[in-house]
Amino acid sequence: MKLVDDASTYRNPIIDADVPDPDAIRVGDRFYLVASSFHRAPGLPIFASDDLITWERVGFALEGGTPTAWFAQPRHGGGVWAPSIRHHDGLFRVVYPDPDQGVFVVTASDPAGPWTEPHLLLPGLGIIDPCPLWDDDGSAYIVHAWAHSRAGRKNVITVMPVDAALRHPLGPAVDVIDGDLAGGITTLEGPKFYKREGEYWIFAPAGGVSTGWQSVFRAPTPYGPYEHRITLAQGDTPVNGPHQGAWVDDGRGGDWFLHFQDRGVHGRVLHLQPMAWAADGWPMMGEAVSAGAGQPVLRHPSPFGTAQHSRTLALSDDFAGGWPGAQWQWEARPDPHAVVGRGPGLGLRSSPDGGSVRTLPRVLSQSLPGQPCSAQIEVALETSPPGGRAGIAVLGRDYAWAGVRRTDAGVEAVVAVRTRDDRSERVIATIPVAGSRVRVTVDVDAEARVRFTVDAASVDPQFTAVEGDWVGAALSLFAASPHGAPEAIGRFADFTIDVRER
């Protein structure tokens, strides 16, 4: 993978891959970041960094969604929405919402884990985007937003007192900001709670995921009254909807704002903005412009003078010991029987096939990079009944896949597509193969157009990848067999990926 070789500056996005709804903190000399995981598991990815620009995923804070039976199937658009991460009283604490259940808390002494089982702090539909604040007198609060799809209300920010251990509420919820009354504010959500110099601050995005801006609110008490200012907007940059993230101090007197940009099929990519406090006490983010709100920087001096390395999360995998690496997530709660734990390669037990890769739970995914890429995998079928199949998909709301399928006559290679308008998969090509193993190469260009090469045969399915439900598209491995038939085993070997950074 290509390196960014100018050690004096960094380029945005600092992670050009799906890192939705980031929140971050500094503990000592290290920085820690958490992101949404929605239906994918393990969930709540935890990242660590020494310099704010190069981030390493160190673990996950959530094995899978609860209740277990519900999340045994893919729940597209559900699961873990925007979380927050804090460090208090010697523990890392992640507070996250499931919009269909309420607000949960997990804790750990080490961000790499192990993390506790989720504790339900606030039950209720549509309570989203929670963030705690511990005050100087030992009291604690949770700020959160609302999802109209579940709660019937939105554009409102609410504060509730809770105990310091984040185990239960201590008083009634109070609506402290109503975007409909504040003037010009729509889709107010994603609040982060801070206290600085005796004042209470809520950083909250508004205006929508792909089209919005960053607002900041301040008040003399946790319950208001709050005044507000827009601190970051697109301006004349290509960075649409710059918002929802975290204020972090670097420990050396500098301040920074981490946020996402919605890039559609590539997901919500991570940006880093310089931040400073103006003489009037308000934060300034990014590059100052005459209109008042800052606009995103595309290049900027690195916070610690360190070099920026690869800006993607994509990783190759040799499936050492017959198991997938930590870069993979399942499309449903992990199934302990999904992997045949022996090598060589990864043995993936099939799911009952309903005709759509989107409905299969035993699917391993990693996010599509934000840059053109080429990925290659060897795939074979073992102990497969007729109709069994296995392959690699570019998976979003629509998908294309290539791999192998067993028929009554033997094994053939297949390239197929399914879009939301299709009642069933469309087979684009079938290719005779010798044996049961093929090598599949997937090429995705800058416009997310997909081409496959199956052994030596090149196939253009005329397919452009699209995003999933609140997530970017993924490169996904799967195996499936007809309902009622014996399980198939898809055998995968030597996954490699090459990202062509621009």
The answer to whether the beta carbons of residues 431 and 457 sit under 8 Å apart is yes
Q: Which tokens hold the place of 167?
A: 């185990």
Annotated catalytic residue 331: no
pLDDT at 146: 98
Integer Cα distance of 294 and 287 in angstroms: 5
pLDDT at 384: 84
Q: Which tokens hold the place of 207?
A: 């205006």
Annotated catalytic residue 21: yes
Angle among Cα 246, 248, 249 to the nearest 5 degrees reads 165
Which domains are delineated in the chain? 9-301 (2.115.10.20), 320-499 (2.60.120.200)
| Dihedral over alpha carbons 325, 331, 333, 335 (to 10 degrees) | -60
Angle among Cα 161, 167, 169 to the nearest 5 degrees reads 30
Q: Which tokens hold the place of 427?
A: 């087979």
Instruction: Answer yes or no: is pLDDT of 3 > 60.
Output: no
Give residue 162's identity as a one-letter amino acid code.
V
Instruction: Collect contacts of 101-105 with beta carbons under 8 A, ≥24 apart.
Output: 101/125, 102/127, 103/127, 103/130, 103/142, 103/144, 105/166, 105/167
Q: Which tokens hold the place of 67?
A: 């209740």
Give residue 184's identity as a one-letter amino acid code.
G
- One-letter-per-residue 3-state SS of 280-333: CCCEEECECCCCCCEECCCEEECCCCCCCCCCCCCCCECCHHHCCCCCCEECCC
The answer to whether the beta carbons of residues 37 and 21 sit under 8 Å apart is no
Q: What is the CA radius of gyration of the chain?
A: 23
pLDDT at 343: 78
Lowest mean pLDDT among 218-222, 304-308, 381-385: 381-385
The answer to whether the beta carbons of residues 411 and 428 sit under 8 Å apart is no
Per-residue pLDDT of 58-105, as tens digits, reads 999 999 999 999 999 999 999 999 999 999 999 999 999 999 999 999
pLDDT at 8: 86
Cβ neighbours around 360 below 10 Å, total: 22
User: Considering the chain, what is the average pLDDT of its residues?
Assistant: 95
Provide the percentage of residues in the chain whose pLDDT is more than 90.
93
Q: Which of 16, 21, 63, 467 is catalytic?
A: 21
Residue with tokens 């260009």: 445
Q: Report the DSSP beta bridge partners of residue 270.
A: 15, 260
Per-residue pLDDT of 429-485, as tens digits, reads 999 998 889 999 999 999 999 999 999 999 999 999 999 999 999 999 999 999 999
Integer Cα distance of 461 and 415 in angstroms: 8
What average pLDDT score do residues 166-183 get?
A: 96
pLDDT at 7: 74
Give, for 251, the enclosing helix (H) or strand (E). Answer: none
Give, for 436, the enclosing helix (H) or strand (E). Answer: none
Provide the percentage of residues in the chain whose pLDDT is more than 70.
98
Q: Render the burial of 47-77: b for 16+ CB within 10 Å, e for the rest.
A: bbbebbbbbebbbbbbbbbbeeebbeebbbe
pLDDT at 291: 64
Instruction: Answer yes or no: is pLDDT of 5 > 60.
Output: no
Integer Cα distance of 472 and 411 in angstroms: 32
* pTM attached to this predicted model: 0.96
Nearest residue to 378 (alpha-carbon basis) of 363, 396, 390: 390
pLDDT-based confidence at residue 290 (cuts at 50, 70, 90): low
Q: Of 120 and 502, which is predicted with more confidence?
A: 120
Instruction: Answer yes or no: is pLDDT of 299 > 90.
Output: yes
Residues whose CB is less than 8 angstroms from the CB of residue 21 and which lie 6 or more positions away in sequence, other chains included: 35, 36, 81, 82, 83, 129, 190, 244, 260, 268
Q: Which of 189, 331, 467, 487 is catalytic?
A: 189
Q: Which tokens hold the place of 392?
A: 């690699």
Lowest mean pLDDT among 53-57, 180-184, 205-209, 444-448: 180-184
* φ/ψ (deg, to 5) at 274: -65, 150
Instruction: Answer yes or no: is pLDDT of 4 > 70.
Output: no
Per-residue pLDDT of 313-364, as tens digits, reads 999 999 999 999 999 999 999 999 999 988 789 999 999 999 999 999 999 9
pLDDT-based confidence at residue 502 (cuts at 50, 70, 90): confident
Instruction: Answer yes or no: is pLDDT of 183 > 90.
Output: no
